[in-house]
């Protein structure tokens, strides 16, 4: 028998998932997830993990609860680690208690991982504290969707109508009319403030402030629907003072990143921190060249090189992984000069215990050339581990000054087999290499790039775009991920000002 973890995925912002839940995501054999669990969390799952979507979107279910229970049990009997990943917190109107009870009855070991509920996080991202001294000292969470088949409501509407604190309704959009009428019938002031927060904590968050009397009509006018949190009470007046999420510089901007999945996390997180709605659409796949006799020979004679030049994170990672696989370690590079094309590559190299001695001011091959131009190259031997196809700017320069440069191809770039769907028209598509540009055009065509803004990491990528008749809206002044994000932020701040 395996073990089941019933975990809360949080309200939507992947940064709000707990450390413990993330660790289970990484080691789970099976992940059974709901509509409200952000699918980006699945990117952290191991490659061989089985992921099963079971819906649970309002009244539209891929599976009924009884079927989900049986599915969890069946997977647990396969002696596997099963994660039942639920939006928000599994014990706040999430039916996690029912699933735990079912597992207990069937003798399945389980563990509960609490999650950040949207009941508190969505109002926080809307600038609304649920409690505030001298305004509200009490908060009540109420389901807006009671179990079907109940003859009478278990909600004490009279008490709620006279309640002096904050009311928070979850899953209440379909029953908004009933919530309103019940509260008004029991004497709630029609002018009471109401705030509806759709997709709380997400870049597509939408917030409406109204009154109890007008909220139903205002929601229709604003075309708002589930998932949403409904807040009722005087604390809503603090929103104007405490608003922060919607003021982030890239809030709501839909930005497409075209790097491989494993390399997209850094830029995606940086953009998300500024409020962007990031979609990862990989247009290249890194495929290591295996076996690689040239690399093995270079490693075995590593002390014969004057310098090793790393021009990408991928090259550094593959080189050092093979170095360690062959029984060597960072000490074998003692006395060898190490070059890194930019901070990101230098960081990758440093993760293996090596500090790059030379990092150019320009994060391009030309930048490496500028560094080399200040050295005596005659008779010196360099190793250049890189992609199968790349520019020969560096080896040509070294050899023109009497040095030797041995190129070792470590990996190829291919078009991914899986083509992700572009769900919505983006505000910007981001390219970090010429390969991402060419492959994007092959996979998606050029039409979308003519309708939106295009960002480039540097002049080489920009030239590829312009040669293909694609207008470059943004080019990073500093040719790395940090510089690219700064340029994107500057562009949108200028266009919106």
CATH number at residue 99: 3.40.1010.10
Q: In what order do the strands lie in the sheet with 474-475?
A: 277-280, 254-257, 428-431, 453-456, 474-475
pLDDT bin (cut points 50, 70, 90) of residue 151 is: low
pLDDT interval class at 152 (50, 70, 90): low
Question: Is 291 in the same domain as 410?
Answer: yes
414 phi, psi to nearest 5 deg: -125, 165
Same domain, yes or no: 151 and 226: yes
303 is an active site residue: no
Instruction: Among 88, 116, 144, identify where a domain stops.
Output: 116
Domain that holds residue 275: 254-284+417-496
- The CATH number for 364's domain is 3.40.50.10090
In 86-201, alpha helices (H) = 96-105, 118-125, 157-162, 176-185
| Better-scored residue on pLDDT, 63 or 48 | 48
Taking 80 as the threshold, does the pLDDT of residue 337 lie above it? yes
Q: Are 324 and 471 contained in the same domain?
A: no
Q: How far is CA 231 from the centre of its chain?
A: 28
The whole model's pTM is what? 0.81
- Quick one: pLDDT at residue 211? 97
Distance of CA 174 to the CA centre of its chain: 30
Instruction: Say whether both 462 and 403 belong to one domain.
Output: no
Q: Which of the residues 34, 89, 277, 480 is marked catalytic?
A: 34
Residue 172 has pLDDT above 80, yes or no: yes
Among residues 171, 173, 224, 428, the one annotated as catalytic is 171
Per residue in 88-138, pLDDT tens? 999 999 899 999 999 999 999 999 999 999 999 999 999 999 999 999 999
Whether the Cβ atoms of residue 405 and residue 392 lie closer than 8 Å to each other: no
Same structural domain, 28 and 107: yes
CA-wise closest residue to 220 among 173, 183, 170: 173
Looking at per-residue pLDDT, the higher value among 480 and 298 belongs to 298
Tokens at residue 124, please?
């926080």
Active site residue 34: yes
- Higher pLDDT pick, 480 / 236: 236
Higher pLDDT, 88 or 154: 88
Active site residue 56: yes
pLDDT band at 144 (very low <50, low <70, confident <90, very high): confident
Domains identified in the chain, total number = 4
Catalytic residue among 13, 56, 173, 202: 56
pLDDT tens for each residue of 418-459: 888 888 899 999 999 999 999 999 999 999 999 999 999 999
DSSP assignment of 213-279: TTHHHHHHHTT--SSEEEEESGGGGGHHHH--GGGSTTTT-EEEE-S-HHHHHHHHHHHHHTT-EEE
Q: What is the CATH number of the domain that holds 128?
A: 3.30.950.10
């Amino acid at each position: 028998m395996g073990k089941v973890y019933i975990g809360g995925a949080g309200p939507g912002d992947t940064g709000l998932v707990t450390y413990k839940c993330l660790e289970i995501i990484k080691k789970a054999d099976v992940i059974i997830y709901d509509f409200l669990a952000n699918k980006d969390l699945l990117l952290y799952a191991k490659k061989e993990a089985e992921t099963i979507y079971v819906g649970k979107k309002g009244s539209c279910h891929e599976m009924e609860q009884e079927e989900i229970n049986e599915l969890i049990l069946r997977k647990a009997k396969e002696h596997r680690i099963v994660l039942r990943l639920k939006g928000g917190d599994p014990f706040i109107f999430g039916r996690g208690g029912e699933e735990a009870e079912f597992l207990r009855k069937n003798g399945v070991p389980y563990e509960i991982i609490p999650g950040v509920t949207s009941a508190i996080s969505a109002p926080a991202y809307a600038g609304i504290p649920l409690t505030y001294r001298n305004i509200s000292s009490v908060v009540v969470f109420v389901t807006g969707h009671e179990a079907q088949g109940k003859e009478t409501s278990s909600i004490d509407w009279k008490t709620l109508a006279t309640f002096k604190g904050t009311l928070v309704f979850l899953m209440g959009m379909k029953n908004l009319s009933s919530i309103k009428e019940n509260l008004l019938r029991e004497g709630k002031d029609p002018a009471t403030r109401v705030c509806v927060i759709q997709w709380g904590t997400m870049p597509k968050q939408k917030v409406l402030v109204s009154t109890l009397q007008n909220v139903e009509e205002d929601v229709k006018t604003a075309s708002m629907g589930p998932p949403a949190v409904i807040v009722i009470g005087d604390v809503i007046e603090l929103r104007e003072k405490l608003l922060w999420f919607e003021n982030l510089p890239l809030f709501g901007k839909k930005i497409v990143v075209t790097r491989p999945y494993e390399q997209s996390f850094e830029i995606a997180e940086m953009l998300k921190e500024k409020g962007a709605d990031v979609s990862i659409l990989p247009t290249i796949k890194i495929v290591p060249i295996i076996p690689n006799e040239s690399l093995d020979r270079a490693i075995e004679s590593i002390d014969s090189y004057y310098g090793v030049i790393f021009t990408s994170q991928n090259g550094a990672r593959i080189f050092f992984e093979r170095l360690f696989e062959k029984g060597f370690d960072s000490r074998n590079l003692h006395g060898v000069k190490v070059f890194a094309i930019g901070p990101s590559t230098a960081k990758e190299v440093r993760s293996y215990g090596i500090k790059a001695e030379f990092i150019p001011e320009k994060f391009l091959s030309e930048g490496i050339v500028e560094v080399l131009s200040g050295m005596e190259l005659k008779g010196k031997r360099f190793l250049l581990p890189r992609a199968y196809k790349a520019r020969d700017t560096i080896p040509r320069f070294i050899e023109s000054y009497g040095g030797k440069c041995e190129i070792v191809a470590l990996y190829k770039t291919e078009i991914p087999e899986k083509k992700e769907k572009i769900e919505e028209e983006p505000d910007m598509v981001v390219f970090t290499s010429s390969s991402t540009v060419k492959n994007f055009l092959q996979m998606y065509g050029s039409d979308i790039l003519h309708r939106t803004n295009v960002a480039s990491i540097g002049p080489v990528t920009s030239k590829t775009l312009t040669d293909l008749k694609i207008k470059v809206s943004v080019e990073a002044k500093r040719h790395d991920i940090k510089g690219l994000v700064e340029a994107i932020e500057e562009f949108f701040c200028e266009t919106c000002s």
